Structure 1
Amino acid sequence: MRVTLDGLDGWARGWISNGHRAPLRLRRQQGGGGVMVWAGIIKDELVGPFRVQDGLKMNSQTYCQFLEDTFFKQWYRKKSASFKKTMIFMQDNAPSHASKYSSAWLAKMTWPPSSPDLNPIENLWALLKREIYSEGKQYTSLNSVWEAVVASAQKVDHQQIKKLTDSMNGRLITVIEKGGYIGH
């Protein structure tokens, strides 16, 4: 996920009461920058969030190194062998995730084909962004927007995460019933 200083991709929405002025919004050239974030959902647990180093070009090699330094060293390696055998690692189709290099590097794990519509992390990103940018909030530095990400992630409870992962069965059934098509 990418979070910016000025809100959701530069968009600002909301209601303005009759007789009140719209809040002043900062407008920076190129949006003022942002922070890249990686997180995972495992059952009812939020893994991360982990901040991607500012200015890092996320290609296949740097993505795999990032996973090694964050997800694998800080979380996965602490899990039991039986847990690791049943865990499924699912990603979206970002180029660094779907490359031959990343696929080969992750081949030691079992993970299904990617589909953003079926990935509960996409719903988590939406939940976090609603909290981060509530009431049209904007930020003045990359560190302050990162602190907002961490604070928002800490507010997500196990029940919310469990609800996201528990919805997978229903989503998969819908895909099967529709012959592989996910429509809105």
Structure 2
Amino acid sequence: MITRTVSKNPRTTQGDLVNDLQRAGTKVTKATISNTLRRQGLKSCSARRVPLLKQVHVQARLKFAREHLDDPEEDWENVIWSDETKIELFGKNSTRRVWRRNNAELHPKNTIPTVKHGGGNIMLWGCFSAKGPGRLIRVKERMNGAMYREMFSDNLLPSARALKMKRGWVFQHDNDPKHTARATKEWLRKKHFKVLEWPSQSPDLNPIENVWRELKVRVAQRQPQNITALEEICMEEWAKIPATCGSRGEETSL
């Protein structure tokens, strides 16, 4: 019964199982339930967060995967991937586990400083290719289409030159409205950019997510104390990230 119940509903808690069994006339402890499920190869894990997908998104992602299934590796090496991300000061990315002795929980080395509302955050735009990180910039204002197109000239093209991208390199960005605006598409067309067609609701398909994760871990380990330090540390750690970081595979949900 226990295994059958959690197979049907993985979100069933141990408390739910204890109560269900008690109503059926069987008294068991949570430890017994846990041991039983472990013997069946089931363990309690945090549910993975994935994009909310409608059927149209599923079909678009499958279409994308099938179209690129047999692409040679050198094609992907010719792509510059881009994205924006938010990094918080004293936020959820901070280190949460420490090794400490009894009664040392309040020692400064064993605590994480917190302030109301997380202490603020910064928004970053970055890009990278198989050859390594491109430029990383802080976006200090709400970016609109005009600012986004200006960023191409100021940051994307210099990144392509610094990374020594081959002629005909491909640019990837998601379907944010400022990315898909008519003026942006026209600018890209006039500049002869090749743009990778991208399925909506697919941040998990973008390998730059691995780079963002690496950056946030590195920044959290250095524990910046203010927004200025947060920005400086982000820039320093971004420059240290190896080219192989973006290739670390993650499961995706098609």
- Using the size of structure 2 for normalisation, the TM-score is 0.53
Distance (whole Å) between structure 2 residues aligned to residue 79 and residue 154 of structure 1: 13
Q: Structure 1 counterpart of 2:160, which letter?
A: Y
Q: 1:26 matched to which residue of 2? A: 113
Query: In the TM superposition, what whole-angstrom CA distance separates every residue of 1:22-44 from its partner, at most 9, and x where no partner exists?
Result: 64433333322222222211222
SS for the counterpart of 1:64 is helix
Distance (whole Å) between structure 1 residues aligned to residue 179 and residue 129 of structure 2: 18
Paired positions, count: 161
Aligned CA distance change for structure 1 residues 144 and 109 (closer, same or farther; 3 Å): same
1:84 aligned to 2:162? no
Q: 1:178 matched to which residue of 2? A: none
Q: 2:92 matched to which residue of 1? A: 8
Aligned CA distance change for structure 1 residues 32 and 98 (closer, same or farther; 3 Å): farther
Aligned CA distance change for structure 1 residues 142 and 126 (closer, same or farther; 3 Å): same
Query: In the TM superposition, what whole-angstrom CA distance separates every residue of 1:81-104 from its partner, at most 9, and x where no partner exists?
Result: x8231x110113333323333333
SS for the counterpart of 1:39 is strand
Gaps of 5+ in 2: 1-84
Q: Structure 2 counterpart of 1:109, which letter?
A: F
Gaps of 5+ in 1: 175-181
* Contact 2:86-2:122 at 8 Å conserved across structures: yes
User: 1:118-129, aligned counterparts within 5 Å?
Assistant: 118-129=205-216
SS for the counterpart of 1:89 is strand
Aligned to 2:154, which of 69, 78, 86? Answer: 69
- Using the size of structure 1 for normalisation, the TM-score is 0.70
Distance (whole Å) between structure 2 residues aligned to residue 79 and residue 127 of structure 1: 20
CA shift, 1:128, in A, is 0.8
Q: Percent identity?
A: 23
1:109 aligned to 2:193? yes
Aligned CA distance change for structure 1 residues 158 and 76 (closer, same or farther; 3 Å): closer
1:100 aligned to 2:182? yes
CA shift, 1:15, in A, is 4.5
Q: Structure 2 counterpart of 1:95, which letter?
A: P
CA shift, 1:47, in A, is 0.4
